[in-house]
Amino acid sequence: MFSNPQQIISQLDLQSGSRVADIGAGSGAYALAAAKAVGEHGKVFAVEVQKELLSRLERGARSKGVHNIEAMWGDAESVGGTHLADDACNAVIIANVFFQASDKQALAREAARILEQRGRALVVDWSGSFGGAGPAPAAVVSKQKAQEIFENAGFSFERAVDAGANHYGMIFRKK
């Protein structure tokens, strides 16, 4: 039913030493997969608006011996809200977050701001409600709508990725 973060992250082709922001990191499944992919010389900024999830994410990473994740409070729906510098990251992950965002365009613009030129954004989200297992039907953002939002924020569509039966995945490149 749910996506496989490790398998999805492998399609992003992260390099050792890369700097990655996981926006809306939640419990940290994608951050942990990215941390493994970028290695000990890389860095993952796990940005989350729900403060109680940050300590859980940090404890989970430590218990797995992962030390290259920095859990940060941030609201990615405002310019500068992630607290990351302009061009700070090689890649951004926005997984299972887009349907929850009230200002989707602002979220895409903040992702563009923190990405270096030609940096990549991985977007994974629910493709439907699936009888309530996913988001409410009205909250589902179609793949086409998500692509339109990211293209309006200065990205070009690079390719689709396999995100499982109930999700879509796309990689965009900052123009």
Positive or negative CA dihedral for 86, 167, 34, 57? positive
Output the six-digit token pair for 91.
């890649």
66-76 burial code (b ≥16 CB/10 A, e <16): bebbebbebbb
Whether residue 94 has pLDDT greater than 60: yes
Min mean pLDDT across 9-13, 115-119, 133-137, 150-154 is at: 133-137
CA torsion sign for 90, 44, 35, 30 is negative
**pLDDT bucket at 133, cuts 50 / 70 / 90:** confident
* Sequence ranges of the domains in the chain: 5-174
Asked if 131 contacts 147 with a C-beta cutoff of 8 angstroms, the reply is: no
Task: Report d(CA 67, CA 60) in Å as an integer.
Answer: 11
Q: Which pLDDT belongs to residue 141? A: 95
Condensed to tens digits (0 to 9), the pLDDT of residues 14-46 reads 999 999 999 999 989 999 999 999 999 999 999
Would the pLDDT of 2 be above 80?
Answer: no
Residue pLDDT, tens place only, 38-86: 999 999 999 999 999 999 999 999 999 999 999 999 999 998 999 999 9
Domain 5-174 superfamily per CATH: Vaccinia Virus protein VP39 (3.40.50.150)
Above 90 in pLDDT, residue 97?
Answer: yes
